[in-house]
Homo-oligomer: A and B are copies of this chain.
């Protein structure tokens, strides 16, 4: 079966039956393909008798992200599988286990997480996740630290850099996040009612300079193995549990890119709140919780990262007094800058977020988009001057107050 072809549900069942010790040979398995069909096939295979279930994910040799088909290397399935294995090794509680794989089929079989909800959906439904900042802070601190020159053998790290060279998927980020929102491009996608905002993005040279510097960091800094696409659609949650999935964009890049992705998606949800919350008090409380969670993501990351550094760094020079502070200041500034780029991109470029796109009232939706852009621009413009994550709160509240006043 190993020559590449998109599997049928029958073939998927046959493949997982042969994984030693999971399903019994006599089990009566059912299989549903639950992917969106654009990038991957996702088979959900269950045994109703034993109540066991499993996910088999197979990459397709193209994406439909730009209307028509765009070829994408199947090697991304190997990269995603190896990244999952790395992340699971470092954070076993926070990443599903890989149970089997076949690189030729671009197929990875992993733990089923159907007891969890996609976090973006959970946030839109108004749920709170009291342990989320804690969990994702741990995921970020541990995966970024233990794959960096600070937390692993520096020669072995170079071999990891090699294994995670990921040109196809990096190009999507370079184009859609770090280039096209700032010029005319067929990939841009926004309503004519915010053409004034789009034009401002195209012509603001001070903003462009900051984006150019962030783009350079994305292109040249092999700080740590990144997840590469850590938005709230790549995170599964329950009230008590957090699981990170889908690292097909994994590559060695700047740490702030992953942390910024989480924060950006919380801020997009923040901007969308008037579309989901009724009552001024409820709106304020909900927003406060979302914003505080965004800030907590950084604080949980930083606290744990510093602890790992103090306990595990063996590099002599890295133990120099003051270096850790300078290092974290750089990561904070990158986090804020990339968060800004990611917020802007979700309004102007391809792949919007459901948090905003599903708002029914056009006026509220437009206001949410304008607020998101205002926050995103401020983060990009101010990234190199930030010295504390608490300034993020000030930036967001100032942008919100300005809009409320203008409305």
Contact = CB atoms under 8 A, between A and B. Distances in A.
Nearest to A163: B162
Interface in A198-256: 205, 208-209, 211-213, 215-216, 219-223
A155 interface: yes
Contacts of A162: 162, 165
A155 B178 contact: no
A162 B159 CA distance: 9
A395 interface: no
A195 to B, nearest CB: 20
Nearest to A208: B320
A401 interface: no
Nearest to A211: B317
Interface string A308-339: 00000001111011110011000000000000
Contacts of A208: 317, 320-321
Contacts of A318: 212, 215
Given A220-B222, A316-B179, A209 B326 contact: yes
A171 B149 contact: no
Interface residues of A, number: 42
A39 interface: no
Contact of A221 (B170, B182, B221): B221
Please indicate which of the listed interface residues A149, A171, A178, A182 has the most CB atoms of chain B within 10 Å of its own CB: A149
Contact of A174 (B154, B170, B219, B222): B154
B220 A221 contact: yes
Interface string A139-151: 0000000000100
A183 interface: yes
A158 interface: yes
Given A183-B316, A320-B205, A170 B149 contact: no
Contacts of A321: 205, 208-209
Please indicate which of the listed interface residues A205, A208, A220, A326 has the most CB atoms of chain B within 10 Å of its own CB: A220
Contacts of A219: 149, 154, 222
A209 B323 contact: yes
A208 B156 CA distance: 25
A149 B216 contact: yes
Nearest to A325: B209
B154 A317 contact: no
Contacts of A223: 220
Interface string A178-190: 1100110000000
A297 B299 CA distance: 45
Contacts of A221: 220-222
A71 interface: no
A323 B220 contact: no
A4 B378 CA distance: 60
A35 interface: no
A161 interface: yes
A167 interface: yes
Contacts of A161: 161, 165
**Top 10 A-B residue pairs of the complex, sorted by shortest distance between their CB atoms:** A155-B167, A208-B320, A212-B317, A162-B165, A158-B167, A212-B323, A149-B219, A212-B320, A215-B317, A220-B222
Interface of A: 149, 154-156, 158-159, 161-162, 165-168, 170-171, 174, 178-179, 182-183, 205, 208-209, 211-213, 215-216, 219-223, 315-318, 320-323, 326-327
Given A209-B320, A212-B318, 15 more contacts: A155-B167, A155-B170, A156-B167, A158-B166, A159-B167, A161-B161, A182-B316, A208-B320, A209-B326, A211-B317, A213-B323, A215-B318, A216-B327, A220-B222, A222-B222
